[in-house]
Structure 1
Amino acid sequence: MRANAWTAGLPARYVRPDGSIDTGKLKAEVSIAEVAAEATDLVQVGTEMRGLCPFHDENTASFFLNDSKGVYFCHGCAAHGDTIDLFSRLRKVDFPEACKALAGAETRPVTIADGKADAAAKAANRARARDEWRTAGPVDGTVAETYLLSRAIGYSVPSTIRFGRTPRYWNDDGSPGPRHSAMIAGAQDADGRIVGIQRTYLDREGRKMRGGSPRLSLGRVRGTALRLGPVMPKIMLASAVEDALSLRLMFPGATVWSAFGDANLQHVEMPRGIWHVTVCGDADESGRAAVAAAREALGRKGIQTGELFPHGGAKDFNEEWVLLHA
C-alpha cells in the first residue's frame, strides 16, 4: 500500500517526513490499558495488569499487559503484541485504520464486534449451556468425583456441580465438536437461573485434561456465581470452585458461593436478602487486589463486607484444607 494511502486522514504530527506512520509517537501517547479495558477488567499486579483474555475462553486470568511498555501477552493462548495490534484485533480493523482511530482521525465508525452477530452468538451459547446443564448428571461414581476426592472436597457435593460429556467447541454450522468428560458447575444469575456453565475437562484418571485450557466457560458467567448453598443474609464468596468447596467444609453450615475466578469477584450480582459478604481470596498480591476490588464494588451497593485469606502459608483455601487433612 502506498504511504499516502496509509496516512490519509492522520494528524500531521503522526506522519514522518518520508510519509510513513510514526507508530512510536502514537504508541507513546495511547495507553494500552485503556484499549484493553474495553474488552476485559484489569487488576494491577505489581508493575503489570492482568485480566481475562479477550481472545479465548477462560476463567483464570492469563492476559497480562505492561502499560509503560505498551505490550500485552496471554499465557493461555500466546496472543501478544503492542497497542496498535491489540486495538486492531479487538476492533477487527486493519493496521492503518487502527492507527487512525487511535490518533482520533476522522474515519468510519468501528466497534469491537457487530452488535447483531455478537448478540446472536451469545444467545446461542446460553442455549448450549442450558442444554449441556440439563443433560449432565450427578458426580457420584464419575471421574468428576475422582477429581474432587483428589482435592479432598468430593464429599456431599451440591447439585449445582454435575458431570457430563460436553464439547469443547461448536463448529460454524452449529454442530458440536468431540465430547469429553467434564465437571460442570452451574452459573446462576441474581434470580437463580442457570445462564452459563464452567467446564473442567478431565482425563480417564480424574486429572485435569492436558492440551489446551482444562477450564472453559459457556454462556454467561460474568456477574454470576456458583451457589453451594441458598440465599442467606450472610454468605461467603470465594474465587475458584475448589476454594468454595473447601470453605464449605471448613465452615459447616455457612453458605459459600464461587465467582468463577478473581476477575469476576467484583462483578457478582447479589440477589435481594444478602446484606453481608465475606470475600475470600488467594494469599498472593493479585488475590488481595481482587478482594479489595470486590469489597469496594459491594460497598457501593450498600452490602457490608469482610475478607478472609488462607492461613499457614497456603496460597489458596483448597491448599489450606488439604494441609489440614494431610
Structure 2
Amino acid sequence: MSTPAAELARRLGDDAEAVCRRYLSNGRREGHYWMVGDVHNSRGRSLYVRLSGQADGLRQPGKWTDASSGAHGDLLDIIAASCGHTNFRDTLDEARRFLSLPPETFAPRNPAPRKSKPGTPEAARRLWAATRPLADTIARDYLMRRAITDLRDVCWLRFHPHCFYRPSDEDGPLARKAWPALIAAVTDERGRIMGIHRTWLDPATCDKAPVAYPRRAMGHLLGHGVRFGQAGPLMVAGEGIETMLSLMQVSPLLPMVAGLSAAHLGALCFPAPLRRLYVARDDDPAGAAALSTLRERASPLGIEIIGLEPARGDFNADLVTTGRERMAAALRSQFHTADRHLLL
C-alpha cells in the first residue's frame, strides 16, 4: 500500500523537470535526466535526476543518484536539502505548496503506527525508514576520516541524526540517550531487512560517541550480513563494516558482506553462485574459529575459502597508514592469481 509521502513523491515525479527547475536551478536537462552538482544545487554534473521512465522503483521519474557519493533518493530528499529542512513535516508542507495541494491532504511519511517489539526485524525496518542518505552527514565525515572515500555501492548504509541509545550501567545516569548514528541494514539474500547495526557518533569529533558501547546490532542476524554489491562467484566476507569498506577501496569490483561478529561471520549463508570466498578475519582466536567454520561448511559445496591477513592488525589501519596502492600491493600475494586484476 502506498504511503501518503510516497504518493507525494510520485506526484512530484510526474512533473520532475519543473521540480528540478525550482529546486536545482543550477542544473540543466540532458536527454532524459536533469544534471547538477549535488542536492544542494551546486554547479556540476555529478547528480542526475530521472525525468521520465516507469513507476517501478529506480526507473521511476524523480529518482536521483549522486555518482560521486553514491547517495540516492527521490524528489522529497531534493526539496529537503534545497530548503535546508531538518523536520520532514516541513518538506511535506513545501511539496504540497509546490503541487498546489491543501495542507490537510497528506499525513507525514511515517505516521506513528503500532510500536514494534524491540529487537525484531520489524523494529529494524522502522528505524531504517527514519534514516537518510550519507551525503553531507557526520557519518560520511566519520568514514572519510578513516580514508574510506569511495562509497559508490553502499545502498545499505544510511544516517540517522538522532538515534536512541539505551545507556548501560557503565555509562552512568547522566549519559545522553540519543546521538547521530551510522546505520547499516542487515539483509538476507533477497534484500529483505532482517536487522540493523548502529554506530553512534559524536558531532564534536566525527568519531564514535563517548559511550560504553558505541556499536550495537539488533534483529535476526544469523546467516545474514551488511552487503556491498551483488552476490557472485567471487566475494569477500569479514566481521566489521569498516573492514569491508576498507577492502572495497582497493578492490571495488568484488562484492562484499560484513557479518558483524566472528560468530555471525562463521554462520553466513553462501549465495548460490559463490565459488570462491575471501575471508578478512580478525587476528584473534574468534576470527580463526570463524575461518575454520567457514572452511568446514564450504568444502562439501565446492566453495574455496581463502583467508586474508592485514599487516597492521586490521585492514582499516592498513588503509589509513599506507594508502590504497600500497595496501593493494600487500594483498596481491594473498589473492588467487586469477583474481589479482581486481585489485588496484
With the length of structure 2 as denominator, give the TM-score of the two structures.
Answer: 0.53
* Alpha-carbon offset, residue 245 of structure 1: 0.3
Partner of 2:158: 162
- For residues 272-315 of structure 1, give each alpha carbon's deviation from its aligned partner in whole angstroms, at most 9, with x where no partner exists: 2222211111234442332222222333444322211113xx10
- For residues 177-227 of structure 1, give each alpha carbon's deviation from its aligned partner in whole angstroms, at most 9, with x where no partner exists: 943210011101132211111000001122111122001112122221111
- For residues 33-63 of structure 1, give each alpha carbon's deviation from its aligned partner in whole angstroms, at most 9, with x where no partner exists: xxxxxxxxxxxxxxxxxxxxxxxxxxxxxxx
Q: Distance in 1 between matches of 2:118 and 2:299?
A: 31
Opposite residue 132 of structure 1, the aligned amino acid is L
Opposite residue 275 of structure 2, the aligned amino acid is W
Alignment check: 8 A CA contact 1:186 1:198 kept: yes
Q: State yes or no: 1:132 paired with 2:123.
A: no
The unaligned stretches of length 5 or more in structure 2 are 1-114, 168-175, 325-344
SS in 1 for 2:207: coil
* Alpha-carbon offset, residue 266 of structure 1: 0.8
Partner of 2:305: 305
- Residues 59-78 of structure 1 mapped to structure 2, 5 A cutoff: none
- Residues 46-61 of structure 1 mapped to structure 2, 5 A cutoff: none
Q: Distance in 1 between matches of 2:305 and 2:128?
A: 32
Partner of 1:44: none
SS in 2 for 1:148: helix
Give the total of aligned pairs: 199
Partner of 1:194: 193
* Alpha-carbon offset, residue 122 of structure 1: 6.6
Q: State yes or no: 1:203 paired with 2:199.
A: no
SS in 1 for 2:247: helix
Which gives a bigger RCO, structure 1 or 2 (Cα 8 Å, sep 6+)?
1
- For residues 93-128 of structure 1, give each alpha carbon's deviation from its aligned partner in whole angstroms, at most 9, with x where no partner exists: xxxxxxxxxxxxxxxxxxxxxxxxxxx987862211
Partner of 1:267: 267
Partner of 1:69: none
Partner of 2:255: 255
* Alpha-carbon offset, residue 168 of structure 1: 2.4
Partner of 1:146: 141
Opposite residue 150 of structure 2, the aligned amino acid is Y
SS in 2 for 1:202: strand
Q: Distance in 2 between matches of 1:121 and 1:132?
A: 10
Alignment check: 8 A CA contact 1:246 1:318 kept: yes
Partner of 2:181: 182
* Alpha-carbon offset, residue 252 of structure 1: 2.7
SS in 2 for 1:192: coil
Q: Distance in 1 between matches of 2:118 and 2:300?
A: 30
Q: Distance in 1 between matches of 2:117 and 2:289?
A: 30
The correspondence for 1:323, drawn from 321, 324, 340, is 321
Q: Distance in 2 between matches of 1:124 and 1:263?
A: 18
RMSD: 2.5
Q: Distance in 2 between matches of 1:138 and 1:121?
A: 24
1:316/1:298 CA distance change after superposition, 3 Å? same
Q: Distance in 1 between matches of 2:252 and 2:116?
A: 40
With the length of structure 1 as denominator, give the TM-score of the two structures.
Answer: 0.56
The unaligned stretches of length 5 or more in structure 1 are 1-119, 171-176
* Alpha-carbon offset, residue 169 of structure 1: 4.3
